[in-house]
């Protein structure tokens, strides 16, 4: 017997019996020879035995199925959440030191990829290629738009500050310095209603989500509601602001209205009672822009102090303050449709797209003129809806003080179309879709509301129709087409 066998034999003989292997009575009854043989057999059987862990599939935090997003790595969460429209993205974690990469110095290519991913919310419909077949390359996006003027609507007597499609895009509402609201039929361009009641110019309009009411904010410091079904005004006016009401926006359910005013405050109103629920001391200069995110959890405001602030709707707490270095006056803000970005217009001729979760500008759009008036725009879609493009075909649109309308691709920042037609500053632009056709409506200081329609390249260009005033004031309207007409503070937000 060699040394190794002797050592193993002594180790087996001195090993105490396991209570799992045998009871005390069995050990007393067994002979030394039988017990030694049994232990040798047990030892030989255990050579190929691998101990099993008590918890072989211990869950990691990044594998958790918990809805708590903080347990998920940010990169993995964002890449897997294209089809989720979760509330309040401001609560998502920002990258910390030691994460996958530091985004403070990320490249333009990386920023482009993130914008592409975040703006493309319909990837679940992408067909899965068959096994063994290479997927076809995605087609490139169109490199330009082709909007043509359909109607030129004339009824206002002074400059037009604001214009909006109804939620279903069947109607258009416009308001301006003449203190009246005009409601038009989108298909025909006919004037449906003229609402009168404000004592000063109208700066802003907002449709209720059900399309039954129009809210208007005026330089008379009030907000009024108008019913488009009955053609009558609501009996109560929203009174509380101490200066011009510049911008208003409905919450998605229609029960809350948010307003920004020249008195530097943001008010949250109970629509049914026409009372202020909460007043936010938002800025140190006039509040020029207001918007509400698609799920109603967040409010964004901007002011002439150059700050863009994001608020929690429920608590009224300021969650983010966004500012650029030179701090130009901010005049308009809009949430992106998916709620992850904010467009901000400033009086330095720039429109900036903010990733407000990370407090970072991801895109800057230029080419328009904006150093005097409060211009307003929005987001839009282009390209064929049946085609899955390599990058999402989204654009940002804005008016310009030289009378043009500019459309920028969100990813490449290139100008897709410079639309000409207005003869003076274009103050407001809004996009919509009706009967499968993409539309755009604009207004400005030339006293016209212009409706634009996207048409295929090979379509024969038609002469746009000019729809005159149909409420009996044609002569007065023609006599007032003077660009030098007086402009109230509803249009003029020039820095002083």
List, for residues 235-244, the tens digit of each pLDDT value: 889 999 999 9
State yes or no: pLDDT of 338 exceeds 80: yes
Does residue 95 have a pLDDT over 50? no
Query: 392: pLDDT confidence band, cut at 50, 70 and 90?
Result: confident
Q: How confident is the model at residue 130 (pLDDT cuts 50, 70, 90)?
A: low
Query: Length of the chain, please?
Result: 496
Residue 34: pLDDT band (50, 70, 90) is low
Phi, psi of 149, deg, nearest 5: -70, 130
pLDDT at 369: 95
Q: How much is the pLDDT for 391?
A: 75
Q: pTM, whole model, 2 decimals?
A: 0.69
Could you tell me the fold of the domain covering 147-479? Methylamine Dehydrogenase; Chain H (2.130.10)
Tokens of 296: 């109603």
For residues 57 and 53, give the distance between their C-alpha atoms in angstroms, rounded to a whole number: 9
Confidence band, pLDDT 50/70/90 cuts, at residue 390: confident
Q: How far apart, in whole angstroms, are the C-alpha atoms of residue 305 and residue 284?
A: 6
Q: Tokens for 69, please give them.
A: 């997003």
**Which run of H or E residues covers position 40?**
helix 32-45
Angstrom CA distances, 360 to 159, 228, 322, 323, 379, stand at 35, 41, 8, 9, 19
Tell me the average pLDDT across 80-93. Answer: 47
Among 112, 39, 123, 75, smallest CA distance to 411 is for 112
CB 201 within 8 A of CB 161: yes
pLDDT in tens, 435-472: 999 999 999 999 999 999 999 876 554 545 555 544 43
d(CA 321, CA 117): 25
> Could you report the per-residue pLDDT of 256-276, keeping only the tens digit for each?
999 999 999 999 999 999 999
Contact 218, 199 (CB under 8 A): yes
Sheet holding 350-355, edge to edge: 330-335, 342-346, 350-355, 360-365
**Per-residue pLDDT, 183:** 97
Query: What's the pLDDT score for residue 388?
Result: 82
Confidence at 219, pLDDT banded by 50, 70, 90: very high
Count CB-CB contacts under 10 A for residue 358. Answer: 16
According to DSSP, the residues that pair with 346 across neighbouring strands are 330, 350
Percent of the chain with pLDDT over 90: 58
Query: Model confidence at 12, in pLDDT bands (50, 70, 90)?
Result: very low
Mean pLDDT, all residues of the chain: 76
**pLDDT interval class at 41 (50, 70, 90):** low
pLDDT at residue 463 in the model = 46
Q: What is the rounded CA–CA span in Å between residue 450 and residue 420?
A: 11
The residue with tokens 């929203």 is: 238
275-280 sheet: strands from edge to edge = 245-250, 256-261, 266-270, 275-280
* Cβ density class 38-59: b for 16+ within 10 Å, e for less: ebeeeeeeeeeeeeeeeeeeee
Q: What is the pLDDT of residues 409-425, one digit of tens each?
A: 998 899 999 999 999 99
Give residue 486's pLDDT: 37
pLDDT band at 38 (very low <50, low <70, confident <90, very high): low
Domain spans in the chain, listed from the N-terminal domain onward: 147-479
Other beta carbons less than 10 A from residue 494's beta carbon: 13
Task: Tell which residue, 275, 310, 314, 269, has the closest CA to residue 289.
Answer: 310
CB 425 within 8 A of CB 397: no
Q: pLDDT above 70 covers what percent of the chain? A: 65
- Residue 34, helix vs strand vs coil: helix
pLDDT on residue 457: 74
Query: What pLDDT score was predicted for residue 142?
Result: 84
Lowest pLDDT segment from 79-93, 138-152, 213-227, 297-311 = 79-93
Distances (CA, A) of 309 to 145, 281, 298, 301, 351: 33, 11, 10, 5, 16
Q: Single out the residue of 471, 433, 463, 464 nearest to residue 449, CA to CA.
A: 464
163: helix, strand or coil: strand
Asked whether residue 63 carries a pLDDT value surpassing 50, the answer given is no
């Amino acid at each position: 017997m060699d040394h190794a066998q002797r050592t193993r034999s002594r180790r087996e003989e001195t090993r105490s019996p396991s209570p799992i292997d045998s009871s005390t009575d069995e050990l007393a009854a067994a002979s030394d020879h039988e017990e030694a043989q049994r232990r040798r057999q047990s030892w030989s059987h255990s050579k190929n035995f691998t101990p099993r862990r008590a918890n072989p599939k211990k869950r990691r935090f990044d594998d958790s199925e918990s809805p708590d997003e903080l347990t998920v790595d940010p990169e993995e969460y964002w890449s897997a959440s294209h089809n989720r429209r979760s509330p309040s993205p401001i609560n998502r974690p920002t990258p910390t030191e030691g994460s996958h990469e530091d985004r403070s110095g990320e490249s333009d290519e990386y920023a482009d990829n993130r914008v592409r991913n975040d703006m493309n919310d319909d990837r679940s419909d992408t067909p899965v290629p068959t096994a063994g077949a290479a997927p076809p390359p995605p087609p490139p996006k169109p490199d330009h738009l082709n909007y043509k003027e359909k109607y030129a609507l004339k009824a206002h007597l002074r400059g037009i500050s604001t214009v909006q499609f109804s939620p279903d895009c069947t109607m258009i509402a416009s308001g301006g310095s003449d203190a009246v609201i005009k409601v038009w039929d989108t298909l025909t361009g006919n004037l449906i209603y003229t609402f009168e009641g404000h004592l000063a110019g109208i700066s802003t309009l907002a449709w209720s989500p059900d399309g039954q009411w129009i809210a208007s904010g005026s330089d008379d410091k009030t907000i009024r509601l108008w019913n488009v079904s009955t053609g009558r005004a609501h009996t109560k006016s929203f009174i509380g602001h101490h200066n011009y009401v510049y911008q208003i926006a409905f919450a998605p359910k229609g029960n809350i209205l948010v307003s920004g005013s020249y008195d530097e405050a943001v008010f949250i109103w109970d629509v049914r009672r026409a009372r202020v629920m909460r007043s936010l001391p938002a800025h140190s200069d006039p509040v020029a822009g207001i918007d509400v995110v698609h799920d109603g959890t967040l409010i964004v405001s901007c002011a002439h102090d150059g700050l863009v602030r994001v608020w929690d709707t429920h608590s009224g707490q300021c969650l983010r303050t966004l500012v650029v270095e030179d701090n130009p006056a901010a005049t308009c803000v809009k949430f992106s449709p998916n709620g992850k970005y904010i467009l901000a217009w400033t009086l330095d001729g720039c429109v900036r797209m903010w990733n407000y979760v990370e407090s970072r500008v991801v895109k800057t759009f230029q080419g328009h003129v904006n150093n005097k008036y409060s211009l307003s725009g929005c987001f839009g879609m282009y390209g064929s809806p049946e085609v899955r493009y390599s990058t999402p075909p989204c654009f940002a649109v804005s008016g310009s003080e030289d009378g043009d309308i500019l459309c920028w691709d969100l990813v490449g920042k290139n100008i897709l179309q410079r639309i000409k037609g207005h003869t003076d500053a274009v103050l407001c632009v809004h996009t919509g879709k009706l009967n499968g056709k993409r539309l755009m409506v604009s207004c400005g200081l030339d006293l016209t509301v212009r409706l634009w329609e996207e048409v295929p390249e090979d379509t024969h260009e038609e002469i746009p129709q000019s729809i005159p005033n149909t409420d009996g004031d044609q002569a007065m309207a023609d006599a007032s087409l003077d660009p030098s007409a007086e402009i109230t503070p509803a249009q003029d937000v020039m820095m002083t």
